[in-house]
Amino acid sequence: MRTRLAIWAGKASGAFSRVFGKSGSSIPGVMARKLDHHFLRHLRKNAKTIVYVTGTNGKTTTTNLLAHLLKASGKSVIANLEGSNLITGLSTVIVRNATLFGWKENDVAVLEVDEASLPKTVTECPPDYLIVTNFFRDQLDRYGEVDTLIQKMKDSLTALDVKLILNADDPFVHRFSDLMKDNVYIGIDAEACKFPSYQMSESRYCPLCQKELTYHVTHYGQLGDYECSCGFSRPQPTFSAELVKQRKNGIQLIVNGESYQTNLKGLYNSYNALLAISVCKLMGMDRKKIQKGLNSYSKTEGRMQVFRVGLNAWKLNLVKNPAGGNVTLFEFFQSPEKKQFMFCLNDNLADGEDISWIWDIDMEAANREDVQSFIASGKRAYDAALRMKYAGIPEEKISILPDMKDAVALAKSKDLPTYIMATYTCLSPMISLLSFEEENSIKGAKIIESSTLPFLPGHAKPVRGQRKRHIH
């Protein structure tokens, strides 16, 4: 009876939260856990197979992509697609999936799990599969050092019967191998593609003997083909990406001899795609079903999301640590067109109150002639601007506008393609602002397109690629 009351309380609180304009992504779980302190244990009644996805970067994209591929294959799936990955958010998924009078069983649960929350999560409800994406320095004020975080996670898994899907290219992730579980490794071959190089990098020291690792190839951060004189080395992947190619419409991968085409963009997303494809293969899906799901997948909000503002494309991506910042800058500056760059930086709890990580972003890579304007916004706009200045960017190119609405207005007035990096709590407001601008742009284009413009002289000609008319 207590569990049923917990479900009712969770559903009611979620409904009230939405009435007052909130998302209700964690409130139902909070209320349910007040009445049933180990509410997450009921996840087993909701799903036959449980998959957790954890690590620093790529959790949300991997979770969303895997859940979509499984759904597209005909399986019933529950997932926390909005990324609410603390134990209260995971409990919310159960509340929403349950009926008022019982449980609704699904084939698979695919849940993104915060790294620091993993020990409590697996204790309350152990998974069948655990995907570990990578580890980078992230929110040091909350997680502490990477070594400490990894050890706590490993300790929580020792007694569990779980299949680990590990990124073989990350020496930090490779440390989970000594748990002696049923390990499955994924990795990108040395000759599969060429990632960009950065001035800044993550720690590249052996976790066993602390000597510097030898790298035959580096993809990004500390990810690559590594070995140490003590015997610690990259394990042979179970699923290898033999080719990774960035095409106009997304990434092509050849995995264990089979070709896949995704609409994900950015070479770093090849790891997320490889993880999702590998788990699907482990669950018995064939290439055709996986490809069908890849064809219909739409990207997660705020992950290389493109908006149309006026005649220009604006691209938005979430950043939360140096590795994410570096790959974002590389993807942003692929073309030589004239453009502007915006960095929206907050220091709320969800962002991480310690923002010292911005000094490990290779911001010097943004100091280019084709980037004509730089805008620093968010609560810590002045810190973002200072980092730009120390990267050698001329002061006259830098504008500081803490209010993101003002920042968008200034950027719009410059009429240039705009590339935006945003931390967690900047992301949702920025998506709202850009969605509004895009909607207005579409409406404006329709009005211009439908106008007959009879007052223009006969020699007015339409400009190729535009809906407006210019007088010549």
Q: How many domains does the chain have?
A: 2
Among 88-97, 117-126, 192-201, 380-389, which is the least confidently predicted range?
192-201
User: Do residues 173 and 229 share a domain?
Assistant: yes
Q: What is the pTM of this model?
A: 0.82
User: Do residues 190 and 257 share a domain?
Assistant: yes
Alpha helices in 98-244 (DSSP H): 118-124, 140-143, 146-157, 171-174
Q: Which residue has the higher pLDDT, 411 or 353?
A: 411
**What span, in angstroms and rounded, lies between the C-alpha atoms of 410 and 344?**
14
pLDDT at 467: 37
pLDDT at 251: 94
CATH number for the domain harbouring residue 389: 3.90.190.20
Nearest CA to 275 out of 393, 112, 452 is that of 112
User: Do residues 375 and 279 share a domain?
Assistant: no
**What span, in angstroms and rounded, lies between the C-alpha atoms of 298 and 16?**
30
User: Do residues 291 and 379 share a domain?
Assistant: no
Residue 161 is among the residues annotated as catalytic for this protein:
no
* pLDDT at 472 > cutoff 60: no
CA distances from 425 to 359, 379, 385, 434, 435 (A): 20, 10, 18, 15, 17
User: Do residues 73 and 127 share a domain?
Assistant: yes
**What span, in angstroms and rounded, lies between the C-alpha atoms of 85 and 89?**
6
Maximum distance among all Cα pairs of the chain, rounded to whole angstroms: 81
Q: Which residue has the higher pLDDT, 203 or 184?
A: 184
User: Do residues 312 and 209 share a domain?
Assistant: no
Residue pLDDT, tens place only, 71-81: 999 999 999 98
User: Do residues 235 and 312 share a domain?
Assistant: no
Residue pLDDT, tens place only, 455-470: 334 333 443 443 333 3
pLDDT at 20: 60
CATH number for the domain harbouring residue 257: 3.40.1190.10
Burial (CB count within 10 angstroms: exposed 0-12, middle 13-18, buried 19+), residue 249: exposed
User: Do residues 349 and 371 share a domain?
Assistant: yes
In a domain, 382, yes or no: yes
SS3 state of residue 154: helix
Among 187-201, 286-300, 301-315, 415-429, which is the least confidently predicted range?
187-201
User: Do residues 436 and 417 share a domain?
Assistant: yes
User: Do residues 284 and 328 share a domain?
Assistant: no
Look up the domain containing 355 and give its range.
305-450
Nearest CA to 316 out of 420, 412, 404 is that of 420
Among 136-140, 152-156, 391-395, 446-450, which is the least confidently predicted range?
446-450
Which of 141, 178, 354, 415 is an active site residue? 354
pLDDT at 350: 83
